[in-house]
Chains A and B, each alone.
Chain A
Amino acid sequence: MGLFKKLPGVIIAEFDSTGSLLHAAEKMSEAGYKKYDCHSPFPIHGMDKAMKLKRSPMGYIIGTMGLIGMSGMVGLTYWTNTYGYSMVISGKPYFSWQAFIPVIFAITILLSAFGAFFGMLALNKLPQLFNPIFNSDAFAKVTNDSFFVSVESHDPMYDEAKVKSFLESIGGKNVEVIKGE
């Protein structure tokens, strides 16, 4: 949860095209930075690869939640119809699994959706109400026509002067240091 943690300082640098941002991302990951991010107004193909991001574990979270939902519902319908409230309905066996396919399916999907929604929030460390990066006026352009790389002060390689000169060396403009809180 990002609600209560101490907010890190950030150094941002502006880039003027998707190409230069991709290039910068490659240089950043090569240099060994970990707590850095790339910001753009739209998704850029190949960015995950350039930043050397691992594939998201979301699929496994969703799959596990789905299996929990499915087995839970199979168990519930089996127990209620065989032991809890065993009744003969339209001459069919107690546990007529066909009749429960819709509910098993629905709960599987429901728990998968929960897994997807809450898993996404947790992996993104949301909800986080504020980030010091928004203190920068220049950064407002990121939703319109500009590209940014940001480096957080949590990064093990963080050193203000070194990061500044590195960002400039890979083509960053208007490098700006934003204090944490």
Chain B
Amino acid sequence: MKFDTNTYKITDSGKIGTVALILGVVFLAISVLGFMQDSAHFYSNYLTAYIFWLSVALGGMFITMLHHITNATWSTVIRRITENMAATMPVFVLLFIPIVFGLHEMYHWSHAEVMDPNSPSYDALIHEKQGYLNETFFFIRAFFYLAVWTIFSFLLRKKSVEQDSTGADYKLAYKKLAAPGLILFALTTTFASFDWMMSLDAHWFSTIFGVYFFSGIFLSGLTFLFVFLMYLRSQNVLGDVVTVEHYQDIGKFIFAFIIFWSYMAGSQYFLIWYANLPEENYWFLYRWGNSWEIVSMVLIYGHFVFPFLALITRAAKRNLKFMVFISLWIFAMRFVDFYWIIMPTGLNEDGSRVVFDFTMYDIAPIIGIGGIFFWFFWKQLTANAIIPVKDPSLNESMKFQNT
């Protein structure tokens, strides 16, 4: 990798993008093998991987908009990277296609006989929800979410790249994007999580589910950002621009949102545990048995207890090697979280629910979609300077120090 320290451009991006693309295609091909063996299982795995990487992109979008709306200056040096994480949205529009085909395999409510009162498999409870849960409306909503995300991430990146040549102060222009963007972001992510994950089990409902998804989005974005910045640092890129002070701030965010995620997950569990109503508690009960208890345990200890204790001290947040490990750990836990939500809802061919059985087909779509995501991300990132070189607050950001 060759890096120009005057223009802050990666002049020779090396083979990493190509390697990612090849890995992506190869592993998607492997998951197609899985599709031939067991299509229902494949779709669940694919949806897990899709939402896992989508949450990284949405995380980048949220960090960017948060930066603009709060007048932040410390995060100016990392803004270009989060912008490009968000700007991978076209990849996710394309990769949504398999979910369209897998709709009937994954979403029980999409079966016509469930809504038909004369059919033996008629489900009155789901029929009540037909106004929201029907295929036409589902696709209109999905189109709307993806359109909103694509447009806003595109505009955020476009304005920022434009600033590289004009050097004007775009603060207000950014805010005009970020303010409506954040409102739409909150609504779209909430309803996307309802549509794509909660409706997998159409009987179950949890009003906090959208916030729970959001807390995970932010964590996915931050941990990806941290690891990627440290990768650049190991290649002697941005080592003197993104300092330990910035890393500590990202670490603080990770720590705060580990707690926030646990708070949301805990609240969701707590109310259902307290009321103990059969129509709600079966969702947790199924995950606390039937071979899924191990995944639940990993989630509690791996996604909350361990990172919480590990990140308490200031020294830990300033120890870059340790933080890379913790970030990778939490990044892996993000996968476990989505796996825990999505996989137990899958049905086998005989109608029974799937049990915990971790094979390479569970991993293949993660690497597959991840490879394509990274290839596109890398291509977009290296097209311009990797920090906003003419942003008026850049100088202040580079000098940033924690007190």
Residues of A near any B CB (own CB < 8 A): 43, 45-46, 48, 59, 63, 90-92, 98-99, 101
Contacts and interface: CB of A to CB of B under 8 A. Distances in A.
A45 B314 CA distance: 18
Given A59-B314, A98-B274, 13 more contacts: A43-B403, A45-B401, A45-B403, A46-B401, A63-B312, A90-B276, A91-B276, A92-B276, A98-B269, A98-B270, A98-B273, A99-B274, A101-B270
Contacts of A59: 314
B266 interface: yes
Nearest to B314: A59
Q: Say whether chain B's binding surface is mostly helix, strand, loop, or mixed.
A: helix
Contacts of B401: 45-46
Contacts of B274: 98-99
A40 to B, nearest CB: 14
B264 to A, nearest CB: 13
Contacts of A90: 276
Contact of B403 (A48, A63, A92, A101): A48
A46 B403 CA distance: 8
Nearest to B400: A45
A66 to B, nearest CB: 11
A44 B312 CA distance: 26
Nearest to B312: A63
Interface string B258-280: 00000000100110011010000
Sorted nearest first, the 9 A-B pairs with minimum C-beta distance are A45-B401, A98-B273, A98-B270, A90-B276, A101-B270, A99-B274, A101-B266, A43-B403, A45-B403
A43 B276 CA distance: 53
8 contacts: A45-B401, A45-B403, A48-B403, A63-B312, A90-B276, A98-B270, A99-B274, A101-B270
Contacts of A98: 269-270, 273-274
Contacts of B276: 90-92
Contacts of A99: 274
Chain B contact patch, size range: 10 to 19
A138 to B, nearest CB: 28
Interface string B352-377: 00000000000000000000000000
A44 B237 CA distance: 30
A76 B276 CA distance: 25
Which of B269, B276, B403 gathers most chain A CB within 10 Å?
B403
A98 B276 CA distance: 13
A90 B277 CA distance: 11
B269 to A, nearest CB: 8
B315 to A, nearest CB: 10
Contacts of B266: 101
A105 to B, nearest CB: 9
Contacts of A92: 276
A101 B271 CA distance: 12
A90 B312 CA distance: 37
Interface in B268-307: 269-270, 273-274, 276
A115 B60 CA distance: 37
Contacts of A63: 312
Nearest to B402: A45
A122 to B, nearest CB: 21
A46 B400 CA distance: 11
Contacts of B403: 43, 45, 48
A77 to B, nearest CB: 15
Contacts of B270: 98, 101
B336 to A, nearest CB: 22
Contacts of B312: 63
A59 B316 CA distance: 14
A43 B403 CA distance: 10
A100 to B, nearest CB: 11
A46 B273 CA distance: 50
Nearest to B276: A90
A98 B273 CA distance: 8
A133 B197 CA distance: 65
Contacts of A46: 401
A45 B276 CA distance: 53
A101 B274 CA distance: 12
Contacts of B273: 98
Nearest to A98: B273
Nearest to A46: B401
Interface string B134-154: 000000000000000000000
A45 B402 CA distance: 9
A59 to B, nearest CB: 8
A101 B304 CA distance: 15
Interface in B380-403: 401, 403
A101 B267 CA distance: 10
A99 B270 CA distance: 8
A76 B141 CA distance: 50
Interface in B151-193: none
A151 to B, nearest CB: 24
Nearest to A55: B314
Contacts of A48: 403
A92 B274 CA distance: 9
Nearest to B401: A45
Nearest to A47: B403
A98 B270 CA distance: 7
